[in-house]
Structure 1
């Protein structure tokens, strides 16, 4: 019998590290507390729809850390992850035949939802801070988009992060052209000393999304959305608006609420943040010969290649050595040029040792491919 191949080291995903010593204790305690307060039939006997009052207050606490003040609970909607929130918002706020402005490299599910709902995503040129305000204004003049979707902090896949001045400039354009803003802030709880979200600068037109998948655990499937007002939130999310799967599982919502109320969520996030500090210390020196971009707190690294080298070839060579990485292809809008770059997730590796070994493989394969292309 032949020996099975070694498992692939997964570095194509931006999952947070597991921090089991902290997470397991906090999650188990929260689960036990929830089950002691409710019978199973009470817990799963009905949907929690937009969240119970306690769920929505807890979501207000989490989002308030970034928004600068705790939003009224009536504006908070508890969803089954960020993608579920998109599924409701994009159909309602953009709609068939209209245009959604997005970053020139955008979150891949947006492109799938564009086909589903019949709207057209249009890319806005980016620089090291993300969306360029002048480019957004030019698109507003030419295509009249209904809304703008963006990640101003640790943009996926480039890790671009907007300064306060850039965020204000984006708000100014949005107000001039009456753009709704869909702000995905999912990577924002790990870095320190960030500017406020765009939604804090323009709450009257912003739909602010903050999920737990990149800071607590990818499988929890909880995201909190803050609408411009309670009435607008209900118009998009009240039961029966559209048949979909956006409602959070009752047990997940209850456990998340419990961990927020007891401080367990903060303790997990603090542990993830500290682990990522160590992981950056491991990765950065090993990639010193590459043209890489990342930032403190980022779960991923963006490695740019010379145009003479091909990212697909590099990713394939790395895969042969037992490591999976991503390329820019899924983030590119139809008809646009694909940049030669790879994205590596540094949180998903099971241990620091596994991360170090995988990063060495990536660096060695990079040198081989780039040198051969010269």
Structure 2
């Protein structure tokens, strides 16, 4: 440990960027020597009078710059220049990794630090990224994520985790081989909608909603079977289905959701086994599906013996009296929810309410595909719900979403868009001559990351919407949100920029 105590320089950049720059400067000048362990995030946050999240982001920035390495349980260390330390910095790469100049032991020189920075940015190190940028520029504003905003979750998670460690030390150290009734009861509470409450025996805890959905698809279909999706939807499920050997098939939709007539046509011609829908808060359009449309889709599903996956991850943020699919058609509906959008994404708490005939099958499929749930995370998710803390945090999250919704109206209201005070994103139509992909690239050129419409297409399609989705809950502060909205507004106002090349 070092007695190093930084002084955050003045400036207009966010505090975490200024702190990261300070750390980089002290490493370059030798004030922080190679091998030095940086202070624990909580300690440094206390000393500087900032949040732990600020320190975490600063450490992440210097790690991205290749100046430090971090290991769970060990801490964060200033990188040295010997071969072993360089392999640590490069995420465990082996002897075929290129070596930096001057690999002798001792303090890193400026040229060696520059080499590390370059090495950390090579495509080889980000080969496992998805369709979104995994490690953006430190100054980037991430409007391409909709995880719950920071409303003080860390304190509750810390306290509950400490309680679990005291209460169940053996269970934390072992595999999870059974599901306590408390986990099912928590799922029952969290998934309940209006007058509907799932049966306790139907609840299957999962490692987040996506793992639950993929387990449902695995348990109800076979390779080669078709899975029906709207043309715009949460496309990771469609891609995951294709990766597992299932074949996504598109259903035409309107402002309420899938068109029953088109679903019937596809069922008659293609014979899909299951339909994926997001009825209460659709991603990316924010729309709500009405009661009659739900009833009509259930009629089609019953005629063609179609299973239904009802994704309510965003639905947990919206209050409605409309009966869920699980209430209308309990014999064929898998109702899925999680804490990720309304409470916290990092805990990976999720549940499936299954038709009774398939609860055990979903549990087994989830265990086979994921290795099973984590006791610590499942118990933590359960305690968050059963204690009432999750409900309190959801209210805080909704308050923050409503405040950011007001910012959206302040900056984006002159332009055509769909938004809601309970939605963590809005669906923006870009004016001519913009294309959604070009607009996304233009925003990225100003360090503002958004999603174009292709991110939500369940397959190749000739239909063009000229829309982008903008998530507003991921920036840490409203000030950062305003900065990103100003970028988007300036691009929208400058229609001529649509003809420029943004690469």
Q: TM-score, normalised by structure 2?
A: 0.69
Task: For 1:24-173, list aligned pairs within 5 A.
Answer: 24-39=154-169, 41-48=170-177, 51-64=179-192, 66=193, 68-173=195-300
Tell me the distance in 2 between the aligned counterparts of 1:372 and 1:251: 49
* Paired residues for 1:189-338 under 5 Å: 189-229=316-356, 231-238=357-364, 243-245=368-370, 247-306=372-431, 308-337=433-462, 338=464
Runs of 4+ aligned residues of structure 1 deviating over 4 Å after TM superposition are 1-6, 370-373
Instruction: For residues 117-172 of structure 1, give each alpha carbon's deviation from its aligned partner in whole angstroms, at most 9, with x where no partner exists.
Output: 22211111111112122221221222121110111122111212101222122112
Report the Cα offset of residue 67 of structure 1: 6.0
Mapped to 2, the partners of 1:251 and 1:333 lie a distance apart of 34
Question: Are 1:355 and 2:489 an aligned pair?
Answer: no
Residue pair 1:111, 1:333 contacting (<8 A) in 2 also: yes
Counterpart secondary structure, 1:126: coil
How far did 1:342 drift?
0.9
Give the match for residue 5 of structure 2. none
**Aligned-pair distance for 1:306?**
4.4
CA distance in 2, matches of 1:57, 1:140: 36
How far residue 48 of structure 1 moved from its aligned partner, in angstroms, is 4.6
Render the CA deviation track for 1:333-372: whole Å, top value 9, x for unaligned: 3331243211110111111111111111111112224675
Distance 1:310 1:272 in 2: 32
For 1:242 and 1:353, how far apart are their aligned partners in 2? 42
Unaligned runs of 5+ in 2: 1-20, 26-64, 66-136
State the 1:285 CA deviation: 2.5
Q: Secondary structure at the match of 1:238?
A: helix
| Equivalent position to 2:145, from 3, 10, 13 | 13
Please give the TM-score of this superposition, normalised by the length of structure 1. Answer: 0.91
Larger relative contact order (Cα-Cα within 8 Å, sequence gap ≥ 6): 1
Deviation at 1:244, TM superposition (A): 1.7
Secondary structure of the corresponding residue to residue 150 of structure 2: coil
Separation in 1, partners of 2:427, 2:371: 31
Q: Distance in 2 between matches of 1:246 and 1:187?
A: 26
Deviation at 1:186, TM superposition (A): 0.5
Of residues 466, 471, 478, the one that matches 1:340 is 466
- Aligned-residue CA RMSD (Å): 2.2
Q: Secondary structure of the residue that 1:131 maps to in structure 2?
A: coil
- Quick one: distance in 2 between partners of 1:370 and 1:256? 49
Question: Aligned to 1:27, what secondary structure does the other structure show?
Answer: helix
CA distance 1:31–1:119, change in 2 (3 Å) = same
Asked whether the equivalents of residues 95 and 117 of structure 1 are also in contact (C-alpha less than 8 Å), the reply is: no
Rounded to whole Å, the distance in 2 between the matches of 1:69 and 1:199 is 8
Distance 1:206 1:192 in 2: 20
SS state at 2:346 partner: helix
1:30-61 CA-partner distances (Å, limit 9, x unpaired): 2232223212x232312155x32211111111
Output the CA distance in 1 between the equivalents of 2:388 and 2:177. Answer: 22
Which has the larger Rg? 2
